[in-house]
Amino acid sequence: MLRCDTMDSSEAIYNGLKDAGIDFIVSVPCVNLSKLLNMIDEDEEITHIPVTREEEGIGICAGAYLGGKRTAILMQNSGLGNSINALKSLMELYEFPLIMIMSHRGTEGENICGQIPMGESTPLILEAMDFNFFKPSNPDAAYVDVRNSWELSVEDGKPVSILLEIKYW
């Protein structure tokens, strides 16, 4: 296992994505994921498609998967509510794997009170959807969780989420 002691969280997540063979990523803008997004943009082996809405990105990931790509979406957890139908009626129904890297807003350290209700609800929503998710507390854990998420998603035929809480990132 790669040791991430000398890497920051963005580098650990990026390395986890690379080691999982992720080669197609869609993203919705998020300042908390900006360093990671810059790393992805610089990688010629990863196709990166910025989108304006999460459910649009999920549909694009479904098509990319059918075209032989290993897919991920980077987004804020607030977009989870926007994408529930696409996740259940498309990704789960047809057993398309997907890694969802989410900036988990509304957790401890959040400075925007409007983010708190969805922040509290995000794990409950994922549990209700019967989707696996991880909440890594350090770069080593993030690397391992991201690296292993693709195979878990393939096995389960459902998306797998990585929730990145502000207090750790």
Q: Residue 112: helix, strand or coil by DSSP?
A: coil
Q: How far is Cα 101 from Cα 99, in angstroms, rounded to an integer?
A: 6
How large a percentage of the chain has pLDDT more than 70?
A: 89
- Its pTM stands at 0.92
**pLDDT value of position 42:** 97
CATH tag, 9-168? 3.40.50.970
Q: How far is Cα 54 from Cα 88, in angstroms, rounded to an integer?
A: 13
Q: Is the pLDDT of residue 2 over 90?
A: no
Other C-beta atoms closer than 10 Å to the C-beta of 63 total 12
Whole-angstrom CA distances from 115 to 31, 107, 108 are: 14, 8, 11
The Cα diameter of the chain in Å comes to 41
Two tokens, residue 140: 């080593």
Instruction: Indicate the DSSP class of residue 91.
Output: I
The pLDDT tens digits of the residues spanning 57-103 come to: 999 999 999 999 999 999 999 899 999 999 999 999 999 999 999 98
**pLDDT value of position 119:** 66
The pLDDT tens digits of the residues spanning 7-64 come to: 789 999 999 999 999 999 999 998 889 999 999 999 999 999 999 999 999 999 999 9
The residue to which tokens 């498609």 are assigned: 49
Which helix (H) or strand (E) segment is 87 a member of?
Answer: none
